[in-house]
Each structure stands twice: as C-alpha cells, then as structure tokens.
Amino acid sequence: MTDSGATNLSPSQRERIYRRNFALLLTDGILFMVAMNIIGSTTVIPDFVRHLTNSEVLIGLSGSLFDVGWTLPQLFIARYIIRYERKKWWFVGPNIPVRFVILAFAVLTVLLGKTRPGAILVAFLICYGLAGLGDGIVGVPWADLTGTSLDNRWRARMFGLMTAGTGLIMLGVAPLVGLVLGSAGLEFPNNYALLFGVSGVLFVISIVPALFLHELPGGKRVDKIPSLGEFLPYLGSVLRNDVPFRAMLITRMLTSLFAMAGPFYIGFATVQLRLSSDVAVPNLLAMQTIGSVTGALVYTWLGARNNLLYIRLALCGAALLPISALLAVLVGPLPLYIGFLVSGLTLSNLFLSYQNWVVSYASADQRPIYAGLFNTVAAAISLVAPFIGGTIAQQVGYEALFAVALVMVFSALFVTLRYIPNPRLEVVGEAATGD
C-alpha cells in the first residue's frame, strides 16, 4: 500500500519528502517528550500533587489527567477534519496557544506561593487538563500526518528514535531533577515551578518544527460533515464488524487499566518503602530513562518489521513492573528499581506502537475516524481508571492495586495473541532505499 498523496511522485521524490518530514517530526517529538518527561506523570507530577493533598484519588487522577485530555476530544475532531484533504494546520494552529499553558502554570505557582496549596492544586488540575485537551485537539491531525507524510519504515524509525533521543537527554536531566528537588534546591513550590518552567519552554519551542512540514494529502475530502444520526451508526458498525480493530481497542483499554497503577509507584516508594522524594524521584526516573533508550532502539528496528510482535513483547515486559513492586514489599526497593528499568524498556513505546498499528491498519480515508475512535473510546477508561486506582490504593492498599494491574496487563496480552493480526504492510521505494 502507498499513501494516496504520494502516488504521483517518483520513489526518489517520495523518499526526499519522507526524510525531511522525518527530521521535523522527530525534532518536534523529542522536544515534546523531553518536556513531558521532566514533569513525568509517574514521577514528578504525583510527587508534586502529594505535597498538595492526601487524596489518593486526586494523586491518581494527576497521573492520568493529560492522557484523558489527550484522548477525549479526538473522535469529535475527526468528524470535522474529514472535510479537509490536508490536515497540517489543524495540527499546527491549535498548538500555538496550547503549548504555552504549562509555562503559564509555572509562573502561576510562584505567584501563589507555598501558603496556598489548595489554589495551586486547582490551578494545576485546570492547566494540566487544558494542556492535555489541547493536545487531544491536534492528536487526530498528527496521526494523519504521520500516516500520510511518512511511510511505515520512516514512521517506526521516527517513533523509536524519538524515544531513544528523549531517553538520552533525560539521562542528563534526571540528576538535575534530583538537585532541584533536594534539600539544597529551591523551597517548595518554587522547586517544582522551576521544573514546570523548563518543561514549558520546551513545549513552546516544539511549535517551530511543524511549521516546515511538507504535507502529503491523505484521504479524499468529503463535501459535507456527516450528521450525528449518520456518524454514530457508522462508528457502531466499525466496532461491530471490524474484529481486529475492536480487539486492539480492548487491548488499549486494558492497558489503561494497567497504567492506573502508574502514579502510585512513587507514593509506594516514598510512603511504604520510606524513600525520600529527592532519592526516589530522580533514581526511578533515571532507571526508567535508561530502559527507554534501549527499548526505543529495539522499537526502531523491530517496529518497522513487525509492530505487533513488539506490542506482545512489550506487554510481557510491562508485567514485570507490578511484579517488582510486590517483591519490593518483601525485600526492599531494589526490585522496584529493576521494574522501572524494564518498564522504560517496554512501556516507552507501547502506546506509540498502538497508534502505529491503527495508522497502518486503516486506509487513508478511514484513518482520521479510526484514530479518533480509538483514542476517544480509550479516554472513557482513562477517565475512570484514576478513581478505581485511587480507591483501591486508599481502601485496600498498594499491593492490591499492583495485583489488579498485573491481571489487566496479562489480559491485554491474551487479546493481542488471540485476536489481532498484523496490518497490511507498505511496500515502498525498495529500489530507492536498498531495503
């Protein structure tokens, strides 16, 4: 299969465009992912929110809030952008205001000060939620751009190298996070405000590369936005009749239920294993980052050849994270460090590999709808998962939560083994690339 926008181009012309877009999307992705990792949803953010509240539900919500905001609006956006053959400015335009939000929150945190933790918590939930929601608005156009303006080879390489590049940078950043949060650093909340500020600056810079993307057209535009009476039954028919897509959607939902434990590993380390924040946060972040570099290199090679095999192997590795936490109850924090190392190795590209499967599986005309449906339905689970996870952690304990997460990841693995085939693979420019 070749993208419809590239059919009138020679293989060498297509390859030049893919190469240029690869560099631009990779730069944007690394800047964005470094910014996200500096305020990591399983490290810095839950630790920050724990300074503001004792509610395990809110702590769990803090780790999932961006993911909920990112996935929730995508189906509704998909319904509108099918009117357009080109999607670049649907991606670039909303990014311009949205990627200033985290920087604004950093300034707001300093202005509110340590005497107003409740106000900081409200401001965080609003700003972080808006950042996620804004990124969700551009999520479908971004998926379409990666599907039409890169081929399967370049797309898998971009995802893998994006994670590897991010990981290498974070190896240097993680010790600095420890210094900022340590006793010699700024006092709370200015120490966390500094991290949010650095992250915010990177978000703003990441706007630039996408301005220069060379977009190739995707699916054919439609003249009229389908009414809800037409649109919703079509979505229902997709879910009823497309078994592989439905199975991948179920896998994504089960993975979200597995990921609900993510924000609680830091709390488990600081509360139950009695590690200090300036030890637990940078050390676990560093272990996760080291693993992510290796995992990204594996995905760069394997994802371009067999994306589904990578998904299955990643789910096997993901199971080691809750297992390591359960072992840490008995023998101390060492297994947890190993679990974070393996989680970086496997989970760093898992959600990207899901996205890559959907982009590769759907035709150019279907891609916006499939990407939007995939992420928006998953948002429903992402929305309730923090409340489930927080309730289990608060009422029963961390060990019970980690055991439930383990069941979820094994269930996701079963679905991928039993019901999901490899999507059709592109055959592109072999003579030009030597592949």
Query: Are the C-beta atoms of 92 and 134 separated by less than 8 Å?
Result: no
Query: What is the residue-wise DSSP string for 290-320?
Result: HHHHHHHHHHHHHTTT-HHHHHHHHHHHHTH
Structure tokens given for 13? 């012309």
Nearest in space to 147 (alpha carbons), one of 3, 29, 32, 33: 3
Kindly report the pTM of this predicted structure: 0.67
Query: What is the residue-wise DSSP string for 66-108?
Result: HHHHHHTTHHHHHHHHTT-S--HHHHHHHHHHHTTHHHHHHHH
DSSP 270: I
Taking the CA atoms of the chain, what radius of gyration do you get in angstroms?
A: 21
Determine whether 291 is exposed, middle or buried from the number of CB atoms within 10 Å of its CB (0-12, 13-18, 19+). buried
Q: What number of CA atoms fall less than 13 Å from residue 306's CA on the CB side?
A: 7
Model pLDDT, residue 428 = 36
Structure tokens given for 26? 């990779």
Nearest in space to 428 (alpha carbons), one of 149, 25, 21, 144: 149
Model pLDDT, residue 425 = 46
Q: Over the chain (435 residues), what is each successive 10-residue block's mean pLDDT?
A: 52 86 92 89 84 83 76 70 74 86 94 89 92 83 81 80 83 83 81 93 92 77 60 75 89 87 81 76 75 73 78 88 89 84 74 81 77 76 80 88 93 92 49 39
Model pLDDT, residue 218 = 63
Q: What domains can be seen in the chain, in order of their start residue?
A: 8-422 (1.20.1250.20)
